[in-house]
Amino acid sequence: MSPFRHLGKIQKRLEDVKNQWVRPARADFSNHESARLATDALLDGGFEAYGRALSQEGEVDFLSSEEVQYIRAQAREPPCALDAPGGAEAGPQGLDACSLQSGTYFPVASEVSEPAPMLAWAAAEKPYLKDKSSATVYFQTDKHNNIRDLVRRCISRTSQVLVILMDEFTDVEIFCDILEAANKRGVCVCVLLDRGGVRLFQEMCDKVRVCDSHLKNVSVRSVAGVVYCAKSGRKFAGQIREKFLISDWRVVLCGSY
């Protein structure tokens, strides 16, 4: 008889769903400890350490090659890896990972607090609180409601506040619509970009010769996804893969454009 082989959560479920005679189990949404250990190993020791952790945990390779490359490229050293004032005896100034219990769920523990909202915008009148809400779905195949034209029309109708979140912003024509709203109509504009997309946005501004003086009423900020922190302190930030637009607190556009 072969010895018992430990199976990770994903590996066990894969074998269960492939076997038509096994009764389906209730969905398990608990923390995936094997995945955490393997991800920590990838951050701390590279791809070989990641493979060893998967083998020890009896787990499948759950990360794509692109995800592995991204995590390795974005990995950052813990605070203790920096030279602390006063020499090595001073110790780390940040989070002491060794003092935390082993049961701590680090992806949640590593989340940073959200930035404080702009006070002027928070105090602005929000008419949507009094209106009845509704939702409309548009499809890219609908030639009478082109998604890009819907975005541009929404920007042209904005009179107070415009918020745009994009993973990558390189559309010069929509950028012109935003500048017109901000500089000609006095609309307060906030553009949120994924941290990895800032370079492309800056490249667009340089090409069309837009400088800070043209962005007096436009706030451009970069945001990162959820931060994953290994127990060693090494960490990486995820990516923002969302797109939405908020106009005058009344209209929200969200989609794949």
pLDDT, one tens digit for every residue, the chain (257 residues) = 444 567 888 888 788 888 888 887 777 777 788 889 999 999 999 999 999 999 999 888 999 999 999 999 988 887 654 444 444 444 444 444 444 443 333 344 444 443 344 555 556 566 666 777 788 888 777 777 788 888 999 999 999 889 999 888 999 999 999 999 999 998 989 999 988 889 999 999 999 998 888 888 888 888 888 888 888 888 988 888 888 999 988 889 988 76
In which domain, by residue range, is 85 found? 9-109
Phi first, then psi, for residue 149 (nearest 5°) are -70, -35
**Domain's final residue, options 79, 109, 139:** 109
The verdict on 60 and 154 lying in the same domain is no
Number of domain units in the chain = 2
Residues with Cβ within 8 Å of 225's Cβ and at least 6 positions away in sequence, in order, are: 194, 237, 238, 239, 240
- 114 in a structural domain: no
186, 103: one domain: no
Both 94 and 189 in one domain: the answer is no
- From 83, 109, 135, the end of a domain falls on 109
Is residue 232 included in any domain, yes or no?
A: no
CA 222/CA 239 separation, integer angstroms:
11
Whether 233 maps to a domain, the answer reads no
Looking at 109, 131, 157, the residue that finishes a domain is 109
Query: Domain for residue 4, yes or no?
Result: no
Helices (H), strands (E): how many in the chain? 9, 7
Residues 87 and 123 in one domain: no
The residue written with tokens 């042209």 in the block is 156
Task: Note if the pTM is more than 0.85.
Answer: no
**Side-chain half-sphere exposure of 59, counting CA atoms within 13 A:** 21
Q: Of the candidates 57, 64, 65, which has an alpha carbon nearest to the alpha carbon of residue 9?
A: 57
Q: What number of other Cβ atoms are within 10 A of residue 77's Cβ?
A: 11
Indicate if 179 and 150 belong to the same structural domain. yes
176 domain residue, yes or no: yes
Residue 231 lies in a domain: no
Number of neighbours of residue 220 by Cβ within 10 angstroms: 17
Same domain, 105 and 176: no
